[in-house]
Amino acid sequence: AIKTRHERAIISGLERAGLRLLHTQLNHRQAYQAMFLHGSTLDELNTSEVNGIAEAQRNALSLASELIEVLAPEPANVLECV
C-alpha cells in the first residue's frame, strides 16, 4: 500500500522515538468493512457478495503472527499461558 505524507511523518516520528514498529500493516480492504456491516467474521462472509476475502484473511493472519512473535517471542511462553 502507498503511504500518505502524513503516514510517513508519523512513522518517522515513531522511529525517531525508538519505538518498535510492526512490519505488517492491516490494509484497507472491502472484506474488513463487510465484517462490521454484516456483524460476522472473515470466515463467515460470502465470497459471492464480498471481494478480497482470501487476501484479507492472509493479511490478518500475517498481522496476528507478527503480534504473537512480538508478545510471546519464545514458544514456551505461549504454552505457559494456556
Q: What is the pLDDT along the chain (82 residues), one digit of tens a residue?
A: 688 999 999 999 999 999 999 999 888 899 999 999 999 999 999 999 999 999 999 999 999 999 998 888 766 555 555 5
For the entire predicted model, the pTM comes to: 0.73
Residue 81 DSSP one-character state: H
DSSP letter at 50?
A: S
* Residues sharing a CB contact under 8 Å with residue 37, sequence separation 6 or more, in sequence order: none
Contacts of 70 (CB under 8 A, 6+ apart): 20, 22
Whose CA is closest to 4, among 30, 20, 39, 28? 28
